[in-house]
């Protein structure tokens, strides 16, 4: 039987609507949490989830 695992939100720690298997590979995947309504970029490889830290966007000054 394949190992299937839910992905949890890195912010609020609740279950998202996304499942991964042992052979799932995701790169720059936009993970959306329905509870906290935030989106985070993640990488997934061999059931290991890594959150991608992006720099905050800055306003352009004129």
Going from the C-alpha of 17 to that of each of 20, 26, 36, 46, 57, the distances in angstroms are 10, 15, 13, 19, 28
pLDDT-derived band at 1, boundaries 50, 70, 90: low
The CA radius of gyration of the chain, in Å to the nearest whole number, is 14
Coil vs helix vs strand at 61: coil
pLDDT in tens, 16-60: 999 999 999 999 999 999 999 999 999 999 999 999 976 555 656
pTM of the entire predicted model: 0.76
């Amino acid at each position: 039987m394949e190992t299937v695992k839910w992905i949890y939100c890195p912010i609020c720690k609740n279950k998202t609507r996304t499942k991964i298997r042992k052979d799932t590979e995701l790169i720059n995947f936009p993970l959306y949490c329905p509870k906290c309504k935030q989106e985070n970029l993640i990488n997934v490889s061999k059931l290991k989830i890594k959150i991608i830290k992006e720099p905050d966007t800055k306003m352009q000054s004129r």
